[in-house]
Amino acid sequence: MKFLVKKSRGFGLIETLVACAILILICGSLLAINVLVARDIIFARGRSVAFNLAQEGIESVRQIRDTNLVDRQDTTNWNTFVCSATGLSPLDYSSVYKVTEGRLNSCYPDNTTSRIALTPDSAGEPITIGPVTYIRKISFIVSGINPAISNATITSANSVRVKVQVDWTENGSDRTIQATELLTNWKRGL
């Protein structure tokens, strides 16, 4: 009787090298995709935070407007947003402002509670969230009129356009986001 003995062959050097090369290509591709996804997540997070800071700036200006409309003080009007060391100031369309809060006695002497107002600051308002510092700058655009609005009762005396710009640096690149809003004197004629 003859027995057939089958020789078992192992993997040769060539097969092992090809398998390692395929494994390296797959792992390298997964690592590259991981890096791209992480970069996109960081960018999306930064843009989302910047947009929220811009919206918060617009909401602060809206709150100042609404507080001034109902505070029953002779010194305030709907568009007296700016508080300086000498008192309330008119809007300067070439200036940059930041939100200031506290007891602003120079502007609101009859008010003993904390209020918010805009104060001139050409550098803007630095806001640090995590490792990133955002710079929020609030300014006003001369044309408060929205050209899409055909209502003749909205005039420049009863509207103002606020612009909030947020700047930050991410991965060595400077980023900017802007938000604008048309604010009006909603208490007009009451």
Q: For the segment 54-76, what is each residue's pLDDT rounded down to a tens digit? A: 999 999 999 999 988 888 888 88
Q: In this predicted structure, what is the pLDDT of residue 69?
A: 84
Helix (H, G, I), strand (E, B) or coil at 28: helix
E strand or H helix at 177, and its extent?
strand 173-184
- Residue whose tokens read 């048309």: 182
The whole-number average pLDDT for the span 151-162 is 71
Burial of residue 45 (CB within 10 Å: 0-12, 13-18, 19+) is middle
For the question of whether the overall pTM of this predicted structure is more than 0.85, the answer is no
Q: For the segment 15-29, what is each residue's pLDDT rounded down to a tens digit? A: 889 999 999 999 999
Question: How far does CA 151 lie from the centroid of its chain?
Answer: 31
